[in-house]
Amino acid sequence: MDMEAESPPDWITISDSIIEEPDQPQDEAELLETQQLLENSYQAAYKGLSIKENVLWPNDAYREFVTLMIHYHISDNIANAFIAFFNKHANLEKSPLPRSMNQAKEVLNSISLPTAEFQKEAISISPDQECHFYYRPIINAVRSLLAVPSINENLVLEYNEKYHKGERIYEEQFNCNWWKREKLSLLKGQRLLSIIIYSDASSLDNLGKLSGHPIFISLGNIPTFQRNKPEAKALIGYLPVVKAQDIRMKNSVQFQNLQRTVFQRCWSMIIGPINDQPDIYLAIQNEIMLCQLRISQILADMAEANKLTNVFQPSTTKHPCHTCLVSKDDLNNLNLLNIIYRTPSNMKKAIAMDLASEYSLHIEHNIFWDIRFDSKS
Q: How far is CA 106 from CA 57, 73, 119, 136, 147, in A?
A: 11, 17, 21, 22, 22
CA distance 260 to 129: 17
User: Quick check: 337 and 6 in contact, CB under 8 A?
Assistant: no
Please spell the DSSP secondary structure of 288-350, one letter per residue: EEEEEEEEEEEE--HHHHHHHTTBPPGGG-SS--SSB---GGGTT-TTEESPPB--HHHHHHH
User: Quick check: 346 and 358 in contact, CB under 8 A?
Assistant: no
- 7 pLDDT more than 80: no
- 161 pLDDT more than 60: yes
Q: How far is CA 38 from CA 72, 142, 194, 275, 287, in A?
A: 38, 16, 19, 14, 16
pLDDT tens sequence across 205-262: 555 566 678 999 999 999 999 999 888 999 999 998 888 888 888 888 888 889 888 9
Residue 331 corresponds to which amino acid? L
CA distance 195 to 139: 10
Average pLDDT over residues 133-152: 91
3-class state of residue 64 by DSSP: helix
Average pLDDT over residues 197-201: 88
Please spell the DSSP secondary structure of 150-197, one letter per residue: HHHHH---S---EEETTEEE-SSGGGSHHHHHHHHTSPTTEEEEEEEE
Beta strand pairing status for 190-199 and 287-299? parallel
pLDDT tens sequence across 56-70: 788 999 989 998 988
CA distance 112 to 54: 7
Average pLDDT over residues 186-203: 88
CA distance 39 to 116: 21
pLDDT band at 15 (very low <50, low <70, confident <90, very high): very low
pLDDT band at 23 (very low <50, low <70, confident <90, very high): very low
User: Quick check: 177 and 282 in contact, CB under 8 A?
Assistant: no
- Range with top average pLDDT, 48-52, 91-95, 187-191, 219-223: 219-223
Beta strand pairing status for 202-203 and 211-212? antiparallel
Q: List Cβ<8 Å contacts ≥24 apart for 277-281.
A: 277/34, 277/37, 277/38, 277/41, 277/139, 279/38, 279/41, 279/190, 280/38, 280/41, 280/139, 281/38, 281/41, 281/42, 281/44, 281/45
Q: What is the reported pLDDT for 213?
A: 86
pLDDT tens sequence across 106-115: 887 777 677 7
Average pLDDT over residues 71-84: 91
Q: Name which of 148, 62, 46, 166 is nearest 105 in CA terms.
A: 62
pLDDT band at 366 (very low <50, low <70, confident <90, very high): confident
CB-based contacts of 174, cutoff 8 Å, min separation 6: 156, 158, 159, 160, 194, 220, 221
DSSP 8-state symbol, 113 = -
- 377 pLDDT more than 70: no
pLDDT tens sequence across 356-365: 999 999 998 8
Q: What kind and span of H or E run contains 358?
A: none
What percent of the chain stands above pLDDT 70? 81
Q: Is 135 exposed, middle or buried (CB count within 10 Å of its CB: 0-12, 13-18, 19+)? A: buried
Average pLDDT over residues 168-191: 93
DSSP 8-state symbol, 232 = G
Q: What is the reported pLDDT for 227?
A: 93
Q: Name which of 43, 64, 46 is nearest 55 in CA terms.
A: 64
Q: What is the reported pLDDT for 244?
A: 81
User: Quick check: 373 and 19 in contact, CB under 8 A?
Assistant: yes
Q: What is the reported pLDDT for 28?
A: 61
Per-domain boundaries in the chain:
3-54+112-374, 60-109
Q: What is the reported pLDDT for 2?
A: 43
Burial code (b: 16+ CB inside 10 Å, e: under 16) for 153-174 equals eebbeebeeeeeeeeeeeebbb
CB-based contacts of 226, cutoff 8 Å, min separation 6: 150, 151, 154, 232
pLDDT tens sequence across 259-293: 888 998 999 999 888 877 668 889 999 899 999 99
Q: How far is CA 163 from CA 41, 128, 166, 174, 308, in A?
A: 37, 61, 6, 13, 35
33-47, 79-93, 309-323, 355-369: range with lowest mean pLDDT: 33-47
Q: What is the reported pLDDT for 245?
A: 82
Q: What is the reported pLDDT for 42?
A: 66
